[in-house]
A and B are shown apart, each in its own frame.
Chain A
């Protein structure tokens, strides 16, 4: 028996965990144990999946024995298994962080008992979306994770969260309706929703129909991935959620949208029909996003804007539709999930330690808690793309691919990418200067907590005891774990780039995917590109 046939367990285990934790809703200790154990098990399984796919190639699992193109298929290829491993590692870290926060706060602030089942369902939805080999199952995966995210977004039901939740729910439902409409139209045009089958059949449609379906899918996924001009909802809704929830949303949800865009571009509609508009969208996403970040004084909002901005890099890599560009985009997705999540987790810690997440009120944290400063500094520099971090390597990969492509638009995007990277540095450096570097007395209106701590340390009584209470070990530990994972992505960038390049080559080739689903003798249509030599 092949290990790849265990792929559905990546969805089943979290759902099982959700059921168990729901039963155990009155026993928070047992809940914690069950959810952490099951998520660790899922992560282990996905690591096995990644290694098996790396050796044995793409594998497909037919659910309940229905043959593809009729039944539901789950496909594990290098891209999806890499996404699974990174996303599960990140969600495990966030889960540990969240349980730490729940324990430290005595579960008063939010109904944490509902957190565990919902969170596990979110993870199941993400895994389902990554594994799905079927357009409708992808929709179901999206809906599972979105419905769970609605609950997490409005956890506690406070005024601001409800307000943010309304925007989020309405935008998500509209994008889902668009996705469903495009599925219906694709089914009407081809008579199938199986993605491998579609890869063959969509090629036979006439150009107008194809472009229509293509644009509809991209718009639906573009809303989920927060590509400008469809990104307006994200900075409006993410920052109000509890810190661990924002962290996991920032890391995973938009990336599922990017994942779906990658599949659309490479598997369903290969070729370069929409590359130019995608490149323009990528450029605008990068530049507009980061300009928005510069205007913010709240760290969470600032990070939400950098999140939007950096989605642009991934879309850039995708829009080049060359192996180098796509490989760099895959690497960048893995890097960005880790870094963005750890930054949001650190912001949660900053908020606990400094009493606020607004840079107008924070000051002197570097002296109060050097560990916190280090935990912020490393991912922040990583995000801005300072060598030698993985952010730098990913960006260099994208720039190289852009220069290889050599069109004027690609050069513009390379310049835009460098400018965005510098502006990101400016944005995070401002946070660093204000929240960590300056003295509390220099702040405009510092939080009283900071001034009190400062006085304490002046009289020789260091705020050591405060550090322990405000920064529980499990929260710092899980954040540190993610930061270390981010650094590990730098150290193991070589092998990771190999995986990413291999995944990109496989996706562009399409034959391994189609043949894994439909059998060895399935015809693999040729990709027609309009420009020669690209």
Chain B
């Protein structure tokens, strides 16, 4: 079976461009990449059909091997329809992203970022002593095991900040308390109010 070299090189080029494009951050380019990949695959299916031959309509005198293989063409037709639907849908999504965020970029998962930045310390599970966030300071056990209170430690000890043992290290109690405040997602708001 001989193959059509032009067809194969075009297919290779389409795959290369397609893969390059889907790795971009811009949604429109990703869409173009997906379209190129789909078309490259269509060419591949066509190539598996073997020789170009007569169109596959039955006529009596023609031997079977003179026809082209009709099945790959049917498969390509189906796959064109499918990639058409997906392209239309992606265009819809891109438009919607533009309406919502005024940008044509793939966005990061906020929750993913938050989980990644969460310290391994968990106030409820890991703290030996619960963090005291009340505005009326109570006597607490400090890092050195002695009783400390805000009044006693001010000026008296160098590291006046009460600390908490967590996961083998000590972190300032104020930080641990801030971690537990509503809305502290360790994320910054961008000027337009959305999450980055």
Chain A interface mostly: helix
Which residues of the other chain, B, contact A170 by a CB distance below 8 angstroms? 22, 30, 34
Q: What CA separation (Å) do A162 and B30 show in the bound complex?
A: 15
Within 8 A of A (CB), among B7-61: 22, 27, 30, 34, 37-38, 41, 44-45, 47-48
The chain B residue sitting closest to A159, CB to CB, is B100
Q: Is B72 an interface residue (CB 8 A)?
A: yes
Q: Is B149 engaged at the interface, CB distance under 8 Å to the other chain?
A: no
Determine the chain A residues whose CB is within 8 A of the CB of B93 once the complex forms.
Answer: 154, 162, 165-166, 169
Given A154-B93, A181-B41, A188 and B47 contact (CB-CB distance below 8 Å): yes
B135 contacts the other chain (CB 8 A): no
B182 contacts the other chain (CB 8 A): yes
Q: Is A22 an interface residue (CB 8 A)?
A: no
Partner of A444, one of B22, B78, B124: B124
- For residue A163, CB closer than 8 A to chain B, the reply is yes
Are B180 and A445 in contact (CB-based, < 8 A)?
A: yes
Taken together as a complex, chains A and B put the C-alpha atoms of A28 and B181 apart, in Å, by 43
Contacts of A183 in B (CB 8 A): 45, 75
A-side contacts of B112, CB under 8 Å: 236
Question: Which chain A residues (328-360) contact chain B, with CB distance < 8 Å?
Answer: none
Contacting chain B: which of A294-302, A481-489, A496-504? A294-302
Contact B86 A169 (CB under 8 A): yes
Across the interface, which residues of A come within 8 angstroms of B45, CB to CB? 180, 183-184, 187
Residues of A within 8 A of B182 (CB): 445
How distant is the Cα of A281 from the Cα of B34 in the complex, in angstroms?
Answer: 27
CB distance from B129 to the nearest CB of A (A): 16
Measured in the bound complex, the distance between the Cα atoms of B112 and A239 in whole Å is 11
* Known contacts A136-B75, A169-B89; A163/B22 CB under 8 A: no
Binds A, one of B101-109, B139-147, B154-162: B101-109
Tell me, rounded to whole Å, the shortest Cβ–Cβ distance linking A472 to chain B.
Answer: 28
Given contacts A140-B78, A180-B45, A180-B79, whether A163 and B109 have CB atoms under 8 Å apart is yes
Q: Which of A161-214 contact B (CB under 8 A)?
A: 162-167, 169-170, 173-174, 176-177, 180-181, 183-185, 187-188, 193
Q: How far is the CA of A154 from the CA of B96 in the complex (A)?
A: 10
Contacts of A239 in B (CB 8 A): 111
| A412 interface residue per 8 A CB criterion | no
The reply to whether A445 and B181 form a contact with Cβ atoms under 8 Å apart is yes
Once the chains are docked, how many angstroms separate the CA of A151 from the CA of B90?
A: 10
Contact indicator A188/B111 (Cβ below 8 Å):
no
**A444/B89 in contact, CB under 8 A:** no
A111 at the interface (CB under 8 A from B): no
Inter-subunit contact A295/B115 (CB<8 Å): yes
- A166-B27, A444-B180 in contact; A136/B48 too (CB < 8 A)? no
Q: How far is the CA of A317 from the CA of B176 in the complex (A)?
A: 44
Is the Cβ of A296 less than 8 Å from the Cβ of B115? yes
Contacts of B85 in A (CB 8 A): 147
Bound-state Cα–Cα, A166 to B27, Å: 8
Do residues A177 and B82 form an inter-chain contact, with CB atoms below 8 A?
no
By size class, the interface of chain A is 35 or more
Return the chain A residue nearest B37 by Cβ.
Answer: A177
| Pair B44/A184 contact, Cβ less than 8 Å | yes
**Quick check: B107 and A163 within 8 Å, CB to CB?**
yes
Against A, the Cβ 8 Å flags (1 = close, 0 = not) of B153-196 are 00000000000000000000000000011100000000000100
CB-CB contacts below 8 Å: B90-126 with A: 90, 93, 96-97, 100-101, 106-107, 109-112, 115, 118, 123-124
Bound form: Cα–Cα A434–B194 in Å: 29
- Chain B residues with Cβ below 8 Å from A165 are 93
Query: What chain A residues lie within 8 Å of B47 (beta carbons)?
Result: 184, 188
Kindly state whether residue B64 has any CB partner on chain A within 8 Å: no
Check if A437 is an interface residue, CB within 8 A of chain B.
Answer: no
Would A162 and B90 be within 8 Å (CB), given that A170-B30, A184-B48, A444-B180 are in contact? no
| Chain A positions 236 through 270: 1 when the CB is less than 8 Å from some CB of chain B, otherwise 0 | 10010000000000000000000000000000000
Interface residue? A143 (CB, 8 A): yes
The verdict on A377 contacting chain B, using a C-beta distance below 8 Å, is no
Is B138 an interface position by the 8 A CB rule? no
- Fill in one digit per residue for A136-168: 1 if any B CB lies within 8 Å of its CB, else 0: 100010010001001100100111101111110
- In the complex, whether B152 has a CB less than 8 A from a CB of chain A is no
Cβ B41 vs Cβ A184 within 8 A: yes
A392 CA / B40 CA spacing, docked (Å)? 47
Chain B residues within an 8 Å CB radius of A164:
109
27 contacts between A and B (CB under 8 A): A136-B75, A136-B78, A154-B93, A154-B96, A159-B101, A160-B110, A162-B93, A173-B34, A173-B86, A174-B22, A174-B37, A177-B34, A180-B41, A180-B79, A181-B41, A183-B45, A184-B47, A184-B72, A185-B44, A187-B75, A188-B47, A193-B71, A236-B109, A239-B111, A298-B111, A301-B111, A444-B124
Apart from A158-B100, A183-B45, A239-B111, list 9 A-B contacts with CB within 8 A: A150-B89, A159-B194, A163-B109, A180-B45, A181-B44, A184-B72, A187-B48, A188-B47, A297-B118
The 9 A-B residue pairs with the shortest CB-CB distance, nearest first, are: A188-B48, A445-B182, A184-B45, A184-B44, A143-B82, A163-B107, A444-B180, A177-B37, A180-B41
